């Protein structure tokens, strides 16, 4: 009976001082947002063939068939692509939108997008990655020549291998092009994605997410970017210091979990990239994609960057929002965990709860600070407010990892230390519990010794 009591005391000790560990087991199982690809409609589907236009590797050709059976079909393209041919279509008011006007077959060709005189997407002699068309009025069944895959935001034409992971209603596909040149084993990458999808507790997830890994470099250089529910990483990733495909893929995946993606204003514009960078590093560590040493280097460099997060004009480079923003959130995460059973993910879960399907939340400063206080304390809010304006390096000691104490036991000790430092009464409680435990164990030993002595006397 005493042994059971001892176990109970130990359990109480651990539960009382490990809010972060408790939080990990309290993931909120929110539902999924239906992506456009997964929405069922009553429209009849017509077949369409997708291929690279002959002798034009940067142009996509879509041939629509059996159109005489439909009443209406419009095709909408992003504004950063240009239509080069539209047979059987007429332009609507939007230059990137066309409407079917007649005939049993229609052909649409468009060149992959341009930005600042460079290619926003990418292509090669036998593959192309580009924006996906949106079909309105009639369902369209896309068939690729010779092979390819369509996501909700992007399409890829060319040979590829697809990997997938499922977490409830949430399915992630990794499309690795034949010449994608991933720097890590694709199985390891998809396992890291699966782990992150399961444990990332920020809500706002689409039913289907597709991540494309392609060869080539985009111009201007983009290691990757995210649409609404799709993402893309390129070989450009490997030209960035301390970057890997796994970390970049996690970064872009996390963007699909943000209802505030590309919708922040003024002094909070850094939050979109800063949160994606920090959370990708956090889950990179948990999936062994990033070492403790590399994390500490990332944290220190980000903290020391010049600029105030709330004033873009002071930034030394566009990396401030990623790296200094990420370091800010790493320190904030530890401060939240020290005073509560929550984390920085709890803040973003509250922010995301105001969004919906393709509905972005505009993060205003006071709203962001309110959410921080909701899950922590007024003192943490005060730090978050002043540190957003600061140009000084952050005190990152609480957020650094002990490189010699990896694994659960190392983190366990760190949580004991942080909890006791923040709430000294915990130290008194632990001392009392240890005293009771030691007293019971000593009592058992004493009784055992008395019984042994009595037995010897009888003999």
DSSP letter for each residue of 247-305: HHHHHHHHHTT-TTTT-B-GGGTTHHHHHHHHHHHHHHHHTTSS-HHHHHHHHHHHHT-
* % helix, strand, coil for the chain, step of 5: 40, 25, 35
Go through the domains of the chain in sequence order and give each one's CATH number. Answer: 43-158 (2.60.40), 159-257 (1.10.390.10), 263-424 (1.10.390)
Q: Count CB atoms within 10 A of the CB of residue 375.
A: 19
- Tens of pLDDT, residues 34-57: 875 444 444 568 999 999 999 888
Query: What per-residue confidence (pLDDT) applies to 23?
Result: 42
- pLDDT at position 409, please? 36
pLDDT the model gives residue 435 = 60
Judge contact between 387 and 320, C-beta under 8 A. Answer: no
* Mean of the per-residue pLDDT values of the chain: 81
* pLDDT score of 315: 96
Residues of the chain below pLDDT 50:
7-11, 14-25, 37-42, 405-423, 445, 447, 456-457
Q: What is the pLDDT of residue 419?
A: 44
229, 152 Cβ separation under 8 angstroms = yes
- Please answer whether residues 176 and 147 qualify as being in contact, where contact means their C-beta atoms are separated by less than 8 angstroms: no
Is residue 262 left, alpha or beta, with left meaning phi > 0 and alpha meaning psi from -120 to 50? left
Check: pTM over 0.85? Answer yes or no: no
């Amino acid at each position: 009976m005493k042994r059971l009591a001892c176990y109970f005391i130990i359990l109480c000790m651990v539960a009382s001082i490990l809010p972060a560990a408790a939080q990990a087991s309290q993931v909120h199982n929110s539902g999924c947002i239906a992506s456009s690809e997964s929405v069922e409609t009553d429209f009849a589907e017509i077949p369409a063939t997708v291929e690279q236009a002959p002798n034009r590797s940067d142009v996509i050709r879509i041939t629509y068939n059996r159109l005489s059976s439909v009443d209406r079909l419009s095709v909408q393209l992003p504004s950063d692509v240009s239509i080069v041919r539209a047979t059987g279509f007429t332009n609507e008011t939007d230059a990137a939108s066309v409407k079917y006007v007649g005939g049993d077959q229609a052909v649409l060709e468009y060149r992959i997008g341009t930005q600042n005189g460079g290619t926003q997407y990418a292509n090669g002699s036998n593959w192309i990655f580009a924006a996906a068309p949106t079909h309105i009025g009639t369902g369209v069944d896309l068939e690729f020549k010779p092979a390819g895959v369509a996501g909700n935001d992007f399409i890829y034409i060319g040979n590829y291998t697809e990997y997938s992971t499922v977490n409830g209603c949430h399915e992630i596909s990794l499309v690795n092009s034949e010449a994608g040149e991933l720097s890590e084993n694709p199985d390891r990458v998809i396992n890291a994605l699966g782990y992150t999808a399961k444990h990332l507790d920020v809500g706002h997830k689409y039913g289907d997410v597709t991540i494309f890994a392609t060869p080539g470099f985009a111009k201007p250089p983009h290691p990757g970017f995210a649409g609404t529910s799709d993402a893309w990483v390129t070989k450009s990733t490997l030209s960035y210091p301390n970057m890997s495909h796994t970390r970049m893929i996690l970064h872009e995946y996390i963007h699909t979990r943000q209802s505030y993606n590309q919708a922040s204003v003024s002094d909070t514009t850094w939050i979109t990239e800063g949160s994606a960078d920090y959370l990708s590093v956090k889950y990179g560590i948990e999936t062994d994609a990033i070492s403790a040493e590399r994390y500490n280097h990332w944290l220190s460099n980000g903290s020391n960057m010049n600029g105030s997060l709330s004033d873009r004009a002071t930034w030394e480079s566009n990396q401030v929002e990623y790296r200094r923003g990420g370091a800010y959130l790493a320190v904030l995460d530890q401060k939240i965990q020290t005073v509560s059973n929550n984390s920085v993910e709890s803040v973003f879960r509250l922010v995301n709860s105001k969004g919906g399907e393709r509905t972005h939340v505009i993060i205003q400063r006071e709203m962001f600070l309110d959410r921080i206080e909701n899950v922590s304390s007024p003192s943490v809010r005060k730090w978050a407010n002043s540190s957003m304006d600061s140009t000084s390096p952050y005190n990152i000691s609480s957020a650094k990892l002990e490189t010699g104490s990896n694994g659960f036991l190392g983190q366990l000790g760190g949580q004991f230390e942080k909890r006791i430092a923040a709430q000294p009464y915990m130290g008194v409680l632990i001392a009392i519990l240890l005293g009771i435990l030691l007293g019971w164990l000593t009592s058992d030993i004493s009784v055992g010794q008395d019984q042994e002595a009595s037995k010897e006397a009888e003999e």
